[in-house]
């Protein structure tokens, strides 16, 4: 890959938690980071934290479920940098209210649509909008932040630690996201762009809760590793801390 000081990364949902930590770790490697959030106050707060660490950080207001924002992102990146080297699709929501059970039969179409708008449809549309800029990179990297909860293999295995946890809307959206990873990676297999799904792990965040065993810096590791893969790195894979997961 090219000199990291010349690389530009955009991380969605990067005003806190794993997204912000991913931006921090990429920035510490000399990569220019563009962080996004749904409102300007959150964007400004993230930029301030990163710049206090000496990181070259920029920000954008971007709601991944709102197609009206995509053009602004494209124009900003085109004008400021002329390309995009790394896209980390980190933004996501879990709107299911039950945890530790299975309420699939009562999950409403509205909940499914709202979850998929952010976790799947928004990711696909934003990536498609930014792909022409990623093609201008010497070695583009696309990281789709998934979850082990998107693994149909793990959900089907009675011995799996997630077997009893069936948050249908969230899980299905991450399974669909994994399908996007596989399909886009195949389309781009003859280019220098690599596309992979990352499972950060069970991390102490608003989504993961304080009971999670992993701290935020470790949770960002998989995203950062996939964002900075070398030429011989994996493509079309589903990864957690360097280990390939079952689809």
How does pLDDT run across 182-228, given as a tens digit for each residue? 999 999 999 999 999 999 977 646 564 555 556 887 889 999 999 99
Name which of 189, 151, 187 is nearest 172 in CA terms.
Answer: 151
User: Which band of pLDDT confidence, cut at 50, 70 and 90, is reported for residue 5?
Assistant: confident
Phi, psi of 122, deg, nearest 5: -65, -40
pLDDT one-digit tens code per residue, 128-151? 999 999 999 999 999 999 999 999
- Output the CA torsion 59→60→61→67 (10° steps): -150
The overall average pLDDT reported for the chain is: 93
SS3 content of the chain, % helix, strand, coil (to 5): 45, 15, 40
pLDDT tier at 237, thresholds 50, 70, 90? very high
Residues β-bridged to residue 10? 34, 87
| Tokens 């649509």 -> residue | 113
Query: Using CA atoms, how far apart are residues 67 and 33, in angstroms rounded to an integer?
Result: 22
What's the whole-number mean pLDDT along residues 53-74? Answer: 96
How many domains is the chain partitioned into structurally?
1
Q: Indicate the pairing of strand 32-37 with strand 8-11.
A: parallel
Q: Per-residue b/e over 43-66, b at no fewer than 16 CB within 10 Å?
A: bebbbebbeeeebebbbbbbbbbe
Among the listed residues 217, 112, 227, the one whose alpha carbon sits nearest the alpha carbon of residue 175: 112
With both helix axes pointing from N to C terminus, report the angle between 17-28 and 40-52 in degrees, rounded to the nearest 10: 40
What residues make up the domain containing 81? 4-244
Q: What pTM value is reported for the model?
A: 0.94
Backbone phi and psi for residue 155, each to the nearest 5 degrees, phi listed first: -65, -25
Bridge partners for 232 per DSSP: none
Query: How many whole angstroms separate alpha carbon 178 and alpha carbon 74?
Result: 24
Residues with a known catalytic role: 170
Q: What is the mean pLDDT of residues 63-71?
A: 95
Q: Which helix (H) or strand (E) holds 145?
A: strand 141-145
Return all residues near 208 (Cβ < 8 A) that are at least 6 apart.
202, 214, 219
- Count other Cβ atoms within 10 Å, centred on residue 172: 21
What is the CATH number for 229?
Answer: 3.40.50.720
């Amino acid at each position: 890959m090219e000199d990291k000081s010349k690389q530009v990364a955009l991380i969605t949902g990067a005003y806190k938690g794993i997204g912000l930590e991913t931006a921090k770790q990429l920035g510490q490697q000399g990569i220019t980071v563009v962080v996004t959030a749904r409102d300007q106050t959150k964007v400004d707060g993230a930029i301030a934290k990163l710049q206090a660490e000496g990181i070259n950080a920029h920000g954008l207001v971007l709601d991944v479920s709102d197609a009206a924002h995509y053009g602004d992102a494209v124009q900003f990146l085109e004008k400021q940098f002329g390309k995009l080297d790394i896209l980390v699709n980190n933004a996501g929501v879990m709107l299911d209210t039950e945890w530790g059970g299975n309420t699939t039969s009562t999950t409403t179409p509205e909940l499914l649509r709202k979850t998929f708008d952010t976790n799947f449809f928004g990711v696909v549309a934003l990536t498609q909008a930014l792909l022409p800029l990623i093609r201008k990179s010497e070695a583009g990297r696309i990281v789709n932040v998934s979850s082990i909860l998107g693994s149909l293999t793990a959900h089907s295995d009675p011995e799996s630690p997630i077997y009893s946890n069936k948050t249908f809307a969230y899980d299905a959206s991450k399974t669909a996201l994994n399908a996007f990873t596989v399909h886009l990676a195949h389309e781009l297999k003859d280019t220098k762009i690599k596309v992979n799904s990352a499972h950060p792990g069970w991390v102490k965040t608003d989504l993961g809760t304080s009971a999670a065993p992993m701290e935020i810096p470790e949770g960002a590791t998989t995203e950062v590793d996939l964002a900075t893969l070398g030429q011989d790195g994996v493509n079309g894979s589903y990864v957690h801390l360097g280990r390939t997961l079952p689809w």
